[in-house]
A and B are shown apart, each in its own frame.
Chain A
């Protein structure tokens, strides 16, 4: 595959062929059959992040078309191409041209399809029918439940499982070995705990830790992860828990307006910070109290309109919990 960045390990070690995919054996076998028959139904890949959904789609494209895969594959990301109109016009334009090579159809990979609104999905359903002779869709999503029934029923659904710890560790060791870095078991263990089987996150963590230390131990992993969380978010939580609401709000504003994070991004980071074993030192009761607050504000962020107001409400509550020990 051309155009990839071989300096980033996630790309360098992204499997090129179906056989290289870690785990997901049954899925890989079925996909290989499709390649043999040179026939593919519409596909829906669902599963947690970093389990190889996009990789499987790209491998399938590569094995179907070989060197011509880029000419026959359109990659779209539903999170970026918000409007269905954009998707439709690009799909239309793309589907009009004839596939190159001996496979009689082209592929459209629609990633993060669960970020499409219901309306957009309805429109997509029609588009899928309209172009089904010349194109096949691979829809990729974290949750099948967010894809409307009529689309699900048009697709063969493949459920990607979280990568088992053994395969996960083996892959990381393989990469470390190829890169000539020494990685300790405790580091693998730490990465496993922090990434929860998300291979993209794991490999990124490994590479960041390798930049910090020639021998990757657990400490390097945690230090790397600490630096990855925008410093603003971490400081924000600390300031709030110390009862300094105004300074915490300053940090929040940096994260929102300078860094350009969304409210949901930030609440995710706060959650990660509060739950991570190497994160904040809190007694368990307080941690639970805080988690409840995070959950509530997360809900309000989804329902509400103004991210800053919602997160200020969280910070004000954190200042209360930190200061007095009860809400």
Chain B
């Protein structure tokens, strides 16, 4: 891949005027009517909730309307921090102030409100507050508006439904982009992309860009590189699409799956990298290295709430993993579920027993439980195994039963050899 930054076509060709927005004529009409009521005076509902599947033009419509009507667009989208604090800082002040000179007004766009996680403390309440306080139109978007957490929001919003785009609508949009990019594209490819996208224009454009970028001519063969767009596929397929991606960049496609749980993907990759990439130690090492870097980045993101870094983590765990050197030729592998969760639950008892004992040792020996576990218990175990009599005395002094101790360390209880009644001196 060339190193120059390439603008995503989904951004480059985002409609600038309302007429350019593809499909959903009814939703468009309803939205413009609501917006006009705002501009004329007071609407019945201060906010509008645009909902529908991904890639059907919700965000694009808001962008287009804002630019056509000369409104300043204030946006907080999924990659931003959406805790109550951050929302207040960024949005609340903006909505209560007038607009800058030279623009007629503002419109506030809060994208993907159903994506606000419960961890974003107070995020939804703050959105309600913003709507209450706003002197400008507030637009929310969501894929699933019926999420129970959104109930209060639904009540204060004008609900506007967007439907999946039709095959023809997606096809014509793709053709138009090809024309503007000067790419000659086989109509069969356009059809295939459109049908694979299932009405998700954003996905279709991303696919088109990944096969057409830098080319003059696109044929059905190029399409093969892409595999096919994963729609709500099982994790098995997602893992396969990453690990056996024909080109590393093709692995990125799994990121367009709307419901992708990337933390789960990490666990699945962690489990299955060696199965797919053996017997090549280089490929295994490279893939794990990328996964490890993704983990580091994700952890930083969470610690610092730096969600703008998310794309790096996601690229690292897809393109980075698939970019391993010396990948072995394709073979079909039956993937496993991540074992970590299972192991954590089956070993819980042993672990708890060990911690309980460590706590007893910690109190007596004036150390932390951790230190007791690491720096005291192993020695006591060695003593017990090699000199059970002495070991028993130590355990007794700690108030730890021999059975518990052996269970916690998965060792055999030593046979009871009480200090033999001292050998009678024969005299």
Contact = CB atoms under 8 A, between A and B. Distances in A.
Nearest to B280: A320
A4, A80, A111, A115: residue with the most chain B Cβ atoms closer than 10 Å: A80
Contact of A7 (B287, B382, B397): B397
A316 B375 contact: no
Interface string B99-126: 0000000000000000000000000000
B386 A323 contact: no
Given A211-B387, A319-B281, A80 B362 contact: yes
Interface stretch (B16-24, B172-180, B200-208, B296-304): B296-304
B285 A316 contact: yes
Nearest to B338: A308
A300 B288 CA distance: 13
A303 B291 contact: no
Contact of B350 (A77, A230, A258, A323): A258
A317 B368 CA distance: 33
B365 interface: yes
B295 interface: yes
A74 interface: no
Contacts of B287: 316
A313 B292 contact: yes
B134 interface: no
B285 A319 contact: yes
B290 to A, nearest CB: 9
Given A265-B374, A316-B285, A77 B368 contact: yes
A171 B141 CA distance: 72
B257 to A, nearest CB: 21
Given A230-B378, A304-B296, A80 B284 contact: no
B373 A317 contact: no
Interface in A281-314: 297, 300, 303-306, 308-310, 312-313
Given A208-B379, A230-B378, A308 B368 contact: no
A309 B270 contact: yes
A4 B343 CA distance: 36
A207 interface: yes
A200 interface: yes
Contacts, number: 169
Contact of A204 (B289, B344, B347, B375): B375
Interface string A218-236: 0000001001111000000
Interface stretch (A35-43, A146-154, A242-250): A242-250
A183 B35 CA distance: 90
B390 interface: yes
B375 A200 contact: yes
A245 to B, nearest CB: 6
B266 to A, nearest CB: 7
Nearest to A269: B374
A324 B355 contact: no
Contact of A316 (B284, B300, B386, B410): B284
Contacts of A312: 270, 288, 291-292
A8 B365 CA distance: 9
B347 A257 contact: yes
A319 B284 contact: yes
A309 B364 contact: no
B166 interface: no
A305 B298 contact: yes
B379 A204 contact: yes
A313 B291 contact: yes
A80 B339 contact: no
B278 A245 contact: yes
Interface residues of B, number: 59
Interface string B262-299: 00001000100010001001101101110111011011
A305 B270 CA distance: 13
A167 interface: no
A120 B354 CA distance: 28
A253 interface: yes
Contact of B300 (A7, A58, A258, A303): A303
A201 B374 CA distance: 11
Nearest to B390: A211
A112 interface: yes
B281 A324 contact: yes
A54 interface: yes
A193 B343 CA distance: 37
B292 A211 contact: no
Interface string A169-205: 0000000000000000000000000000000110011
Given A258-B351, A265-B374, A253 B397 contact: no
A5 B365 contact: yes
Contacts of B369: 77, 79-80
Contacts of B293: 300
A317 B364 CA distance: 41
Interface string B77-114: 00000000000000000000000000000000000000
A11 B367 CA distance: 11
Contact of A317 (B289, B365, B379): B289
A7 B393 contact: yes
Given A7-B390, A11-B364, A304-B292, 19 more contacts: A4-B364, A8-B365, A8-B376, A10-B376, A78-B368, A79-B370, A224-B379, A227-B382, A253-B339, A260-B350, A260-B351, A262-B370, A265-B374, A309-B270, A309-B295, A313-B288, A313-B289, A316-B288, A319-B281
Interface of B: 266, 270, 274, 278, 281-282, 284-285, 287-289, 291-293, 295-296, 298-300, 302, 339-340, 343-344, 347, 350-351, 354-355, 362, 364-371, 373-376, 378-383, 385-387, 390-391, 393-394, 396-398, 410
Give 10 nearest A-B pairs by CB, closest first: A79-B368, A313-B292, A5-B397, A305-B299, A211-B387, A316-B285, A313-B288, A204-B379, A257-B343, A260-B351
9 contacts: A10-B365, A78-B368, A111-B366, A211-B391, A212-B386, A230-B378, A245-B281, A316-B285, A316-B289
